[in-house]
Amino acid sequence: ETGVTQTPRHLVMGMTNKKSLKCEQHLGHNAMYWYKQSAKKPLELMFVYNFKEQTENNSVPSRFSPECPNSSHLFLHLHTLQPEDSALYLCASSQEGRTQYFGPGTRLTVL
């Protein structure tokens, strides 16, 4: 599904770095999501934005800070991460609460 793009595809960072993940959707949707996919665990919903307003925060640590400047773009700002935060971070979008379409993900490694 090329309607949702994510950059970078791979990211390696130290625990003291600050970095950002970017997601862009070209589907005209009004809701966007961040998920975390760790090895041997189900996908975990992190944040939901509906019409640019955050409607869900699934008890995510404050070292993850989302930003949704408009309905087409979603960022995840990362600061002072831990090695256990290494995972595949997936972005998705939907029209209202309907079917979600996913991007290819960013593979994050925290050293």
Partner 1 sequence: GDSVTQMEGPVTLSEEAFLTINCTYTATGYPSLFWYVQYPGEGLQLLLKATKADDKGSNKGFEATYRKETTSFHLEKGSVQVSDSAVYFCALKESAGGTSYGKLTFGQGTILTVHP
Task: In whole angstroms, give the CA distance from residue 106 to residue 104.
Answer: 7
Per-residue contact track with partner 1, 50 to 69, x per CB under 8 A?
Answer: x----xx-------------
For the residues of 58-96, what is the DSSP string, one character each? -S--TTEEEEEEETTEEEEEEES--GGG-EEEEEEEEST
Q: Does 75 bind partner 1 (CB under 8 A)?
A: no
Q: Does 105 bind partner 1 (CB under 8 A)?
A: yes
**41 scored as a contact of partner 1 (CB under 8 A):** yes
Based on the number of CB atoms within 10 Å of its own CB, is 4 exposed (0-12), middle (13-18) or buried (19 or more)? buried
Tell me, by CB under 8 A, how many residues bind partner 1. Answer: 27
List beta partners, residue 66: 76
CB 37 within 8 A of CB 88: yes
Find the binding residues for partner 1 in span 1-30 (CB under 8 A). Answer: 1, 4, 6
Instruction: Indicate which single residue of 43, 65, 67, 80 sits in contact with partner 1 (rule: CB under 8 A).
Output: 43
From 3, 13, 19, 102, residue interacting with partner 1 (rule: CB under 8 A): 102
Residues that bind partner 1 (CB under 8 A): 1, 4, 6, 31, 33, 40-43, 45, 48, 50, 55-56, 90, 92, 94, 96-105
